[in-house]
Amino acid sequence: MVQKFHNAAMLVVGDEILSGRTRDANLYYLGSYLAKHGIELKEGRIIPDEHETIVHHVRELSAKYDAVFTSGGIGPTHDDITADAIAAAFGRSISHDPRAVAILENFYPEQMRNEARMRMARIPEGARLIDNPVSAAPGFVVENVYVMAGVPKIFEGMLEGLVSEFAGGQALLSKTLRIEVGEGRIAAILGALQNKYPDVKLGCYPYGHDGHYAARIVARHRDEKRIVEALSELRQKVEVEGFDCDYEA
């Protein structure tokens, strides 16, 4: 089933992310992955393992974007409540899905099956399953919401299996110009350039370099020609001001 997406949002669910005990890697991976398929990740939210909070954000994001991806909260423990919240968000019942049960029974020997593990077979009514090539327990899709695991390797494996569904369009391209000066010195130039090229996204990312301030200017567009035009003009204006700059590979 090929879906035509132009934009998406991500909802990261997990107290462990908010507390700083675990660093999220899935938002970064998803953004890069979708960009290659011409889909723009417009928003990312990190929320706690709270039923009503998940329900609220799922409904809001689902109505706002073409697709929503969630990570976390579909494991075997008592605080894995994302599946129940997704069901509630769309007014669906949830129960042990025969398809998911069969997958887990095939993966775990009988002596290793228990109530906690089989809890991962609870799927909202009418959902499509997402294959999990790493640890078997499936994710699922309800309407335009893709519910996936929080463990990065599992999340990535699930996402790779969905590639045939994504038909976003031409890939989002980017090119970086490094300027050896602090962002404050080039802010006016950047502002004027953004006004001239409103369709090209220009991001300014300051950093320290060899004991002084510098900035990376990243231009994003689906048409490489527009990127080159914008950055070429920026480079010319910056060099006129006497600042060193160069493209990054």
63 token code pair = 């109505």
Q: Between helices 51-64 and 82-89, what is the axis angle to 10°?
A: 50
* pLDDT tens sequence across 174-228: 899 999 988 899 999 999 999 999 999 999 988 887 778 899 999 988 889 999 9
Q: Return the percent helix, strand and coil in the chain, to nearest 5.
A: 40, 25, 35
Give the pLDDT band of residue 2 (cuts 50, 70, 90).
low
* pLDDT tens sequence across 100-118: 999 999 999 999 999 999 9
H/E element holding 44? strand 40-47
Contacts of 54 (CB under 8 A, 6+ apart): 11, 13, 47, 73, 81, 82, 85, 86, 89
Specify the pLDDT at position 86.
98
Which domains does the chain carry?
7-165 (3.40.980.10), 174-247 (3.30.70.600)
Q: What is the DSSP letter of 21?
A: S
Mean pLDDT of all residues belonging to the chain: 92
172 pLDDT more than 90? no
pTM summary value = 0.79
